[in-house]
Homo-oligomer: A and B are copies of this chain.
Amino acid sequence: MRLGVCLQALYHLSLRDALSAARELGFELIELPVDARSPFLDLDEALGGGWRRIGQEIRDAGLGISALSNHQEGQLLLGPHSSDTDPIHPGSAEEKVRYATDRLSRTAELAQRLEVGVVCGFTGCEDWSRWFPWPLSDGYERMAPGFRERLLPVLDDFARHEVRFAHECHPKQFAYNLETAKLALDLVDGHPALGFNLDPANLVLSGMDPLAFVAELGGRILHVHAKDAELVAPHAARSGLLAHGAWTRPDRGFRFRVAGWGYLDWKRLISALRTAGYDGVLAVEHEDPTMSRLEGLRKAVTHLEPLLLREPADPPWW
C-alpha cells in the first residue's frame, strides 16, 4: 500500500506547487481531477498533447498517479437532470447525458495516455430519494434499466482504453451501499471494467459497515479514499445521520473528517483490505471543515503513514 492524495484540497495552488506540496507532505501518489472544475488541466488541451507536459511535471515531482477522477461530470449520466446539475452542464436531460458520456470517454482516453489504469467517478441517479419507497413504492427498481443502458457503453469504451471505472458509492449515486453496489455489478453483467473506489466515509453515511463491503466486494476495489466520517456528539442526536445544510454549521450532526479523526478504525480497515488482497493506494481526501487545507492533510499523513502495510505478509512461521 502507498499513500496518495486527492488534489482538490490543493486547488488554491498551481499544479507545480500542488505537486510539490503533496510531495513534501509525504505522499507518493496523486489522484488527479480532470473535470472542468479542475484548475490543473483542461481535458481537451491535455488530450491535444498537454498530457505529456502534465505527466512530466508529476514525474519530476517524484509522484505517481493512482487514478484520474471525474466525479462531477459522471453525475450527469443518470442525473438528476433538473436545474440542480446545471452548474455542471446546463441543458436538457439528453444533452446532459451526452455531455457526461463524452467527458467520461475523454477521461478514459487521457488515463490511457498517462498510463493510469483507473478512473474514479460517479454515475448519478435520477432521483436518489427513491431509496425510500414512498410515495412511489418501486421507484428505485424503475431506475435499474437506465443504469444498465447508460453505463454499459461507458464501460465498453473504458475497456477499449484499457482503463477501469472505479465507481464511488455515495449518497445521491445509484450505488450507495453494498447492496446497490452488487446490484450495479449485476446490472452490467459483472463487466470487467467496473470496480469501486472505496470511500469508507460515504458508507458510514449510508449507515452500513465498510468492513462488510471489503469482505464481500474486496476483489472489485480498485482504489481507496482515505476519508473519515464523524457523528458529531452531542449534535448527532438532533441531526440524525442525515444532517442538512452547510458543512461549517457548528451544530451539524454529521461531517466528513480527515482520516483518523472520525469513526473509522483504520487499522481494521487496512487489515481487511490486506486480507482481501488489496495492495493499492490510500488516497487522502480532505473535506474536513475543522482544519485548514494543509493542516488537515498533515494530520491524515500523521495518522495513516505508520499504519500502511508495505510488505507482503509472510506465510505462518509459528
Contact = CB atoms under 8 A, between A and B. Distances in A.
Given A133-B246, A134-B172, A172-B135, A292 B306 contact: no
A274 B290 contact: yes
B317 A291 contact: no
Given A209-B234, A237-B234, A316-B247, A311 B290 contact: no
Contact of A216 (B88, B238, B253, B261): B238
Contact of A209 (B131, B178, B233): B233
Secondary structure at the A interface, as helix, strand, loop or mixed, is loop
Interface string A260-283: 110000011001001110000000
A54 interface: no
A47 interface: no
A271 B312 CA distance: 34
Contact of A235 (B215, B251, B253, B260): B215
Contacts of A238: 177-179, 208-209, 212, 216
A315 B242 contact: no
Contacts of A72: 135
Contact of A206 (B137, B208, B235, B242): B242
A48 interface: no
Given A133-B247, A234-B211, A317 B12 contact: yes
A259 to B, nearest CB: 11
- Sort A-B residue pairs by CB-CB distance and give the 8 closest, nearest first: A207-B241, A208-B240, A207-B240, A206-B240, A129-B129, A209-B237, A292-B311, A131-B244
7 contacts: A87-B136, A180-B244, A208-B238, A233-B268, A241-B241, A248-B315, A248-B316
Interface of A: 8-9, 11-12, 72, 75, 80, 82, 84-85, 87-88, 127-141, 170-172, 176-180, 203, 205-209, 211-212, 215-216, 230-248, 250-251, 253, 257, 260-261, 267-268, 271, 274-276, 287, 289-295, 299, 302, 306, 309-318
Given A141-B245, A248-B315, 5 more contacts: A80-B127, A85-B135, A85-B136, A179-B253, A248-B316
